[in-house]
Amino acid sequence: MRLVRFGEKGMERPGLLCEQGIVDLRAIFAQIPDVGPAFFTGGWLERVAEVGESGSIVNVRLGPPVAAPGKIVCLGKNYAEHAKEGGFDTPSAPLLFAKAPSALNGPQDDICLPETSGQVDWEVELAVVIGRQGKKIPASRAMDHIAGFAVMNDVSGRQAQFGDGQWFRGKSFDTFAPLGPALVTADEIPDLSDLTLTASVNGRLMQTGSTRDLIFDIPAIIAYISRDITLMPGDVISTGTPAGVGIFRDPPITLAVGDVVECRIDAIGALVNRVTGPA
């Protein structure tokens, strides 16, 4: 199943993505909540799985497939080759940081360059959406707490990230978390441990990697975070990026107005975002 949110910004409604277009779930279930905590705790993920593909809508904007997550937890240096390209030691434990939920952006929305940081970079990542609350979740049960998966571009203002001495501001500028194109349930993904991730800028391939290169896999990440932090329905975990980011190239390559970034993951889909000036 491929769950989406569609419509104008701030007015999105839940739908199912199918070959013919989008099925408007609110036309079938008038009381269905937006895709967030009430959606997951109310059993709607299971209910909408039985919906057919008739009455599809086409040519509409897709928003992020989850509304207003309570937290966006990200991992740094979680691909071996990415750690190597940055000259970093392999982490002995997951390196966590946060992006502000207000950075969330649609899969085809513009990325707006901030006024206070240059060196804006791309990072294609596999994102996990939590569907069931949990704390101290054992790795063996981690998959039971997942609603689905999406592509995230962990857009990064490197000047702020490195200059501040911590990463929150440089990772959290408005529009810096494109997510989508859909929330894809696990049954649609043949092998989470062998997905190819790519990022291209203006058609030039910049990143290519595989989830085989993850240092900490998804169950280990969920177990680590939830030891002391309760994971809530709708939370997003972005699991790290493979090698090929712009800042570690020689010379560095960073994003400019007019660039188009495409981030793609096997079996999930692609984000295509144009870069614009400050909003």
Whether residues 24 and 108 share a domain: the answer is no
pLDDT score recorded for residue 89:
85
Whether residues 225 and 118 share a domain: the answer is yes
Question: Angle at the Cα of 61 (from 56 to 64), degrees rounded to 5?
Answer: 105
Whether residues 24 and 96 share a domain: the answer is no
Whether residues 31 and 126 share a domain: the answer is no
**Last residue of a domain, which of 63, 92, 114?**
63
pTM of the predicted structure, to 2 decimals:
0.97
pLDDT score recorded for residue 113:
98
Residue 124: which domain range? 72-276
Whole-angstrom distance, CA of residue 278 vs CA of residue 224: 36
Whether residues 56 and 156 share a domain: the answer is no
Mean pLDDT of the chain: 96
Whether residues 77 and 173 share a domain: the answer is yes
Whether residues 79 and 213 share a domain: the answer is yes
Average pLDDT over residues 239-249: 96
pLDDT tens, position by position, 79-105: 998 888 888 888 999 999 999 999 999
Q: Are strands 196-201 and 260-265 parallel, antiparallel or unpaired?
A: antiparallel
Beta bridge partners of 152: 125, 179
pLDDT tens, position by position, 147-196: 999 999 999 999 999 999 999 999 999 999 999 999 999 999 999 999 99
Looking at the predicted structure, is the pLDDT value of residue 53 above 90? no
Looking at the predicted structure, is the pLDDT value of residue 44 above 80? yes
Whether residues 11 and 81 share a domain: the answer is no
Q: Look up the CATH number of the domain holding residue 93.
A: 3.90.850.10
Whether residues 149 and 24 share a domain: the answer is no
The 3-state secondary structure of the chain reads CEEEEECCCCCCEEEEEECCEEEEHHHCCCCCCCCCHHHHHCCHHHHHCCCCCCCEECCCCEECCCCCCCCEEEEECCEHHHHHHCCCCCCCCCEEEEECHHHEECCCCCEECCCCCCCEECCEEEEEEECCCECCCCHHHHHHHEEEEEEEECCEEHHHHHHHCCCHHHHHCCCCEEEEEEEECHHHCCCHHHCEEEEEECCEEEEEEEHHHECCCHHHHHHHHCCCCCECCCCEEECCCCCCCCCCCCCCCCCCCCCEEEEEECCCEEEEEEEECCC
**Last residue of a domain, which of 43, 63, 83?**
63
